[in-house]
Structure 1
Amino acid sequence: MLFDDMEDDEADMMFDEADSSDFIDAPSGPADMPVPRATATLLGHADIEKQLLSMLGHGRFPHGLVFSGMEGIGKSVMAYRLARYLFSKDGKQDDTFSMFGDAPEPATSLYISPTDPVFARVASGGNADLLMIERPVDEKTGVMKSSVPVDEIRKIAPFMRKTSSAEDGWRIVIIDDADTMTRSSQNSLLKILEEPPEKSLLILIAHRAGALLPTIYSRCIHIPFMPLADDVIKNA
């Protein structure tokens, strides 16, 4: 039953708001503002970065993460920052010891230099081990749909079945606007979370945490992003 999808059109109708439109305007920003996957700098959230590094260091990293919080707070930037780290050689756990028998120094940051080839592949969308899921743009209207449809979520299962391009490497899926997934989309995702492949990670980026099914939360680690302090914003 792994990766099987369940049709649930009636549940979709009950789950979605009755007065919601099929499309909403695509968000726009300054032309020179880099997209999250090409952003190297993250403002604030050092505590979250420390938490993620701690989970990695203790060998208890989950297969699913939910990053929740207000829009534009850095959730997507953190997701790609984590993905780059895991893809890089620095992201792999180092079990070696120095010639004096000392344990290697633990990592203190998820930062990967923009000059690193891993950064370039993620920024260009050319990393074969990274799948990015988002609300699709309607070809006729040119605006983004109001939800992540089940057809997009169904791309995850065959992607996860593939062998990583790196030996013992990660396969990572980042779902943007995960809180807009339809009921069928969430049920389809739940089947993957129930039996995730080894070295796989799903990162759900949600602006409205309450829109996700409790059963999805129970299979993920929920990491809320708090608003940035005024001094952090002023010094940006």
Structure 2
Amino acid sequence: MAKGFDTEPLPESDRAPACLHPRETYDLLGHSEAERRFIQAQQSGRLHHAWLLTGPPGIGKATLAYRMSRALLGGQSLMPESLNIPKSDPISQRIESRGHGNLFVVNRPWDSKTKKFKQDIPVDLIRSVGEFLQGTAAEDKESRVVIIDSADDLNRNAENALLKMLEEPPSKTVMILLSSSPGRLLPTIRSRCMAVPLKAVPKADIVDWLSRQGQGSKDMVEACANLSRGGPGKAMALAQNASEVLMPLKRFMESLDTGRVSIDIGIAKSLATQNAAVARALFWDVLEDSIQACAVYSQTDLWEGAFAPPNNKRNPEKWLKAWSLIREQKAIEAAINTDKTATLLNTLSAVRAA
């Protein structure tokens, strides 16, 4: 029997956990002002050649980038003054199937040997963008669109190569850069882009959106919204990983005034497996935000965390010390290879003892 081909699609670094890819997402929650700015620029005939969409992860940068791309490549909106181009549009179908010849997407590549994503976007990928821009348009429309998700992942050589393209942009080309930490980009790159900062989506809008999609109980939806940092994508990821992230967080927060180390051990072990990488990253975030909420609550009596506030407020300085420890341990784990069970267990124990 002939050996079959592996048809399993490669992982994509720009796909949020348990969510549709942004090219498959047609609704955008919030950011109407950002869309209005782009539409006005496009209609004026003076469209800037580079756009820098900024905001925290999960806020909708990539979804907006694909909505812009559909419009640039000739998609037809259902409504005037809108980027609501439907899934049924031929342009949408080409983009969703990754078959549109005038769209080039750059993100961290998958290493098939290590079974991990590369740590950065190498300069070779940016050089491929240059080749794409110099080639003949593959579709009837002459416009070309490049999405870089995320520009934060560019290594320094790649940044310098991109800068040259931004300094001498080809005609009828639009580059859309996404960044969660624009301050880390070269100032010369930022200065050559039209900056579009995306604001946090109101909590009430996220709650309503999750509820309409049937993403859990009222309490769980509220928790997802509280811990989303104003990002619908982050809220959806939390909802999809509630049993691995939010329920353990709830058990931990409710037991803070006890010595139930068994809870800490269970959480640390469950999030140390290779398959739990996404849930672990989310847990670090929500733990950090929850302890920060405790610090604010102990000082102001204002509770903005998930679930119920702790019975024992503790001294604000102790909460801040615990919060700093969480951030420190999260950064260390991201930088070097550590014992994941021990790192998280020691952190949870230290927070409990604070």
TM-score under structure 1 length normalisation? 0.79
Displacement of 1:191: 0.7
Q: Give 1:35's aligned residue.
A: 21
Q: Give 2:37's aligned residue.
A: 51
- Correspondent of 2:81 among 97, 101, 108: 108
Q: Is the 8 A contact 2:110 2:118 kept in 1?
A: yes
Q: Can you give the 5+ residue segments of structure 2 that lack an aligned partner in the other structure?
A: 1-12, 210-354
Displacement of 1:107: 3.3
Amino acid at match of 1:195: E
Q: Give 1:209's aligned residue.
A: 182
- Correspondent of 2:144 among 157, 163, 171: 171
Write the mapping of 1:129-208 to structure 2, written as runs, cut at 5 A.
129-167=102-140, 169-208=142-181
Amino acid at match of 2:181: R
Q: Is the 8 A contact 2:100 2:139 kept in 1?
A: no
Displacement of 1:165: 3.1
Displacement of 1:182: 1.0
Amino acid at match of 2:133: M
Q: Can you give the 5+ residue segments of structure 1 that lack an aligned partner in the other structure?
A: 1-25, 92-105
- Correspondent of 1:61 among 23, 28, 47: 47
Displacement of 1:137: 1.1
From the two aligned structures, give the one with the greater strand fraction. Answer: 1
Percent identical across equivalent pairs? Answer: 38
Q: Is the 8 A contact 2:74 2:141 kept in 1?
A: no
- Correspondent of 2:194 among 214, 218, 221: 221
Displacement of 1:81: 0.6
Q: Is the 8 A contact 1:53 1:107 kept in 2?
A: no
- Correspondent of 1:128 among 101, 115, 122: 101
Distance 1:190 1:76 in 2: 21
Which is bigger in relative contact order (C-alpha 8 A, separation at least 6)? 1
Distance 2:141 2:66 in 1: 20
Q: Is the 8 A contact 1:168 1:199 kept in 2?
A: no
Q: Is the 8 A contact 1:42 1:77 kept in 2?
A: yes
Q: Is the 8 A contact 2:102 2:138 kept in 1?
A: yes
Write the mapping of 1:10-25 to structure 2, written as runs, cut at 5 A.
none
- Correspondent of 1:84 among 66, 70, 74: 70
Amino acid at match of 1:209: P
Distance 2:159 2:196 in 1: 19
Distance 1:207 1:166 in 2: 32
Distance 2:94 2:16 in 1: 24
Displacement of 1:59: 1.6
Displacement of 1:89: 5.1
Q: Is the 8 A contact 2:75 2:89 kept in 1?
A: no
Q: Deviations over 1:8-49 (max 9, x none)?
A: xxxxxxxxxxxxxxxxxx67612xx21001111111101100
Q: Is the 8 A contact 2:101 2:139 kept in 1?
A: no
Q: Give 1:75's aligned residue.
A: 61
How many matched pairs? 196
Root-mean-square deviation over aligned CA pairs = 1.8
Displacement of 1:82: 0.5
Distance 2:200 2:111 in 1: 32
